[in-house]
Amino acid sequence: MGLGRWSEAVRERAKAALHRPSPYGPDLDVTSFEPGLSAGEPEPELVSQTGLDLERAKREAMYVQVDQALVKYFSKVPGVEVKCLERLLEEEPDVAKEYLWRLLDPATDKYTAIAALKGAGGYFVRVKRGAKVEVPVQACMFIRSSSLQAPHNLVIVEEGAEATIHIGCLTMPEAAALHAAMSEIYVERGARLKMIMVHAWNAVTHVRPRTVIKVEEGGELLSYYMNLSKVKSLQTYPLVKLAPGARAYIASIILGRGGAEIDVGTKVELEDASAEIVSRVLARDSSRVYARALLSGPSGQGHIECSGLMLSDEARIVMYPELDAKGPRARLTHEASIGKLSEEEINYLISKGFSREEAEGILVRGFMNVELSFLPERLQKYVSSVLDVMKKMATM
């Protein structure tokens, strides 16, 4: 099938789903959002909140998109290719057809549909077979105008390669936008991918990313997701498919602020593989956070650890840790807890000379701690800096 007919087939499937709601999160009228075409660079002070270092990325590898308009992309890192999706379609249509809309179905819901019909841009990152790359590819998705931003991202970490991607998604404070990024990520046999994603939205933006990550035999995925800002609504439930011998550690640290409605989680399908899903949810103001986690498969080992911290009387946290053993060789466990800051712990820190605000900040920052030792030192610092920003936003 030629590229034209392939694209047309994708669009036809999408059209049929344009009014199909997601089973999760508040429903939206996606047709009210038109693609945005603002120009210019992202605002540096906002970008820095996501831990991205675009100055440094200029010497390494980066992709920057504002609304649906491309700003720049390149890679100076040996073994790493970065380009925009349109360029991939133009230069390597067979690769595009082989990998795009394979893990994701454009007819899944209205958000995949609108992305297939009106989306533009998105990064294509390919890490060559056997390349061991510690330098992160930095990708920035910036929304400047009240519009639709629906890029389609494709990442291929080829057999035996190692790669790191650090993604920051953010908006200008006043932009009432819909972000519906499609991401299809392939971690091939024996490859390793470390992924850091930071969301810093505003109080009027709706966010509906759709992500599927396929990890082949012996592959490894380390994923850190942080949502630190206000958002009108955020719903995402990425799927990770683990082949035999694959491993995954997936951590999410989510801060609900203002009147946000957040429904996030991770599904992992495993077969003779191992996975750990860790989520830390903090809810302040009148935010509502629904945290989901699902481990399913016929065999393998998995654990879910969900912790919630209530930071106001009006907030709400609901947790759904689910285990689905499809065979007797599946060993699946979970633990979940929700509570508030302990007065005993606050008082202890006050007796050590900290003010109440400082004590709460220490405990909130501690609550957000997840296992970072899997990451190289530079990335540990990036994640820590983002968590420090989150701590301030949680306690200010």
Q: Under the rule (CB under 8 A), what is the footprint of another protein?
A: 342-355, 362-363, 365-369
Minimum Å gap between C-beta 383 and another protein is: 14
Calculate the alpha carbon distances from 318 to 58, 97, 265 in Å: 41, 39, 12
Q: Which is nearer to another protein, 336 or 362 (CB)?
A: 362
Minimum Å gap between C-beta 372 and another protein is: 10
| 260's tokens | 């946000």
In the block, residue with structure tokens 């995925």: 221
In the block, residue with structure tokens 């998604």: 169
> How far apart are the C-alpha atoms of 320 and 117, rounded to whole Å?
32
> How far apart are the C-alpha atoms of 313 and 343, rounded to whole Å?
16
| 165's tokens | 């991607």
In the block, residue with structure tokens 């660079």: 41
* Cβ burial, residue 127 (10 Å; 0-12/13-18/19+): buried
Residue among 89, 76, 173 nearest 124 (CA): 89
Q: Which is nearer to another protein, 352 or 392 (CB)?
A: 352
Task: With beta carbons less than 8 A apart as the criterion, state whether 19 and 112 touch.
Answer: no
Minimum Å gap between C-beta 96 and another protein is: 44
Q: Which is nearer to another protein, 62 or 383 (CB)?
A: 383
Minimum Å gap between C-beta 105 and another protein is: 38
Which of the 8 DSSP states describes residue 106?
T
Minimum Å gap between C-beta 351 and another protein is: 5
Q: Which is nearer to another protein, 165 or 389 (CB)?
A: 389
Q: Any idea what the Cα angle at residue 240 is, between residues 335 and 337, rounded to 5°?
A: 15
| 74's tokens | 């390149």
Q: Which is nearer to another protein, 110 or 280 (CB)?
A: 280
Q: Which is nearer to another protein, 56 or 356 (CB)?
A: 356
> How far apart are the C-alpha atoms of 197 and 202, rounded to whole Å?
16
Minimum Å gap between C-beta 344 and another protein is: 5
Minimum Å gap between C-beta 334 and another protein is: 18
- H-run or E-run covering 215: strand 210-215
| 91's tokens | 């230069």
Minimum Å gap between C-beta 195 and another protein is: 23
Minimum Å gap between C-beta 367 and another protein is: 6
**For residues 218-231, b (16+ Cβ closer than 10 Å) or e, as one string?**
bbbbbbbbbbbbbb
Q: Which is nearer to another protein, 61 or 359 (CB)?
A: 359
> How far apart are the C-alpha atoms of 386 and 228, rounded to whole Å?
8
Q: Which is nearer to another protein, 139 or 372 (CB)?
A: 372
User: What amino acid occupies position 107?
Assistant: A
Q: Which is nearer to another protein, 329 or 348 (CB)?
A: 348
